Amino acid sequence: MVQPQGYVHHNSSLVCKLNKAIYGLKQAPRAWFKTLADTLYKFGFKSTKSDVSLFVRHNSSNVTYLLVYVDDIIVTGNNSQEIETLISQLHEKFSLKDLGRFNYFLGLEATYLPHGDLLISQMKYAKELLLKAGMNNSKPLPTPMSTDLKLYSSDSEPFENPTKYRSIVGALQYLTMTRPDITFAVNRVSQFAHEPTLKHWKSVKRILRYVQGTVEHGIVFTKSTNFRILAFADSDWGGDLEDRKSITGFCVYLDNNLISWKSSKQTKPTPPTIYCDNQSAYLLAANPILHSRCKHLELDLHFLRDLVNQKSLFVAHIPSPDQVADCLTKPLSQHLFDRFRHKLRVFLCPYLSLRRGIRDKSEKSELESG
């Protein structure tokens, strides 16, 4: 920092002591967050372990959630009166501007559908990404990745602009927040960001062409009083032809709502060392043919069977055509991809579709009349 104009002292050993954080300094966001967090703690909120910027307050039968990103805040809960009281309390402490019902937050757009359903999309963000990549006028494709595509580290000439490659792929990763249908494809091209080739860039352009045709799609959440949890998991078992590592994918539903999904390449970290004083276990690890010493496996088997018998654990077989996690581990045909995209709750917003249809019809009338 330098001394402000009009107050310059020739003694260079003097420094400025700040009474509060100045907006724009690196310390300012941290100071603001600490001040806000301390205030929320006084109001009875607790920071969650999974996300320090998410605060939760339980009060008898009421629950209130508050999500913070710098100076953008989302408040929700099951009691509207408590939410209004909280906003009033925060307004007394800070200068706030209530923007009403949630419509836009960090690139996420909310569209309220009939019967209480909610569609979360990133249409504006996707359009900006297509414009940035120069693909805003590209021809759409029905799937983000070809079924016969095999990617390698050095499968073609190096791409001349690796910085652009990393920038576009990084932006696509943020788009997967509301687009689980592109999660596998984005994960696949992300593995070559350190040294991309022309074939890798061609795969990225295919994803962008798919996004071009589905720019108005988003993930739908439905009201429900059923809190059952369903999970689907799949692995391609050594699908990477270079290192034979597997791609693992899973998706978790809370009733009919998709709440968590992931597609990632399995890692092989440095193997840990286990010191064991059980000679049978040590020998079994080196020679699995010692069947007389396999009581450890038998105990584990009985333990799992007991859990199943007690109905504490359910293990069910599912046919491949119904395995939703398949689209998170491998490229699929258009028929299967469309089916699983529907099961992942990724839909075209009906309002946006209707609006686009009216606009297209109007443009067609203008062309015919002109």
| pLDDT tens-digit series, residues 262-294 | 998 887 766 666 666 666 666 666 665 555 556
Where b means 16+ CB within 10 Å and e means fewer, 104-133 reads eeebbbebeeeeeebbbbbbebbeebbeeb
- For residues 131 and 233, the answer to whether their CB atoms sit within 8 Å is no
pLDDT score, position 358: 43
pLDDT score, position 367: 33
User: CA 200, CA 149: separation in Å to the nearest integer?
Assistant: 10
Chain-centroid distance, C-alpha 298: 39
pLDDT tens, residue by residue, 19-41:
766 666 777 788 888 889 999 99
- For residues 228 and 252, the answer to whether their CB atoms sit within 8 Å is no
pTM exceeds 0.85, yes or no:
no
pLDDT score, position 352: 58
Question: For the chain, what are the domain ranges?
Answer: 27-100, 103-370
pLDDT score, position 326: 86
pLDDT along the chain (370 residues), means of 10: 72 72 73 89 90 89 89 88 90 85 88 87 93 91 88 85 93 93 92 90 94 92 87 82 82 91 80 67 60 61 75 77 86 88 85 51 40
> For residue 104, what are the contacts with CB-CB under 8 A and spacing of at least 6?
110, 124
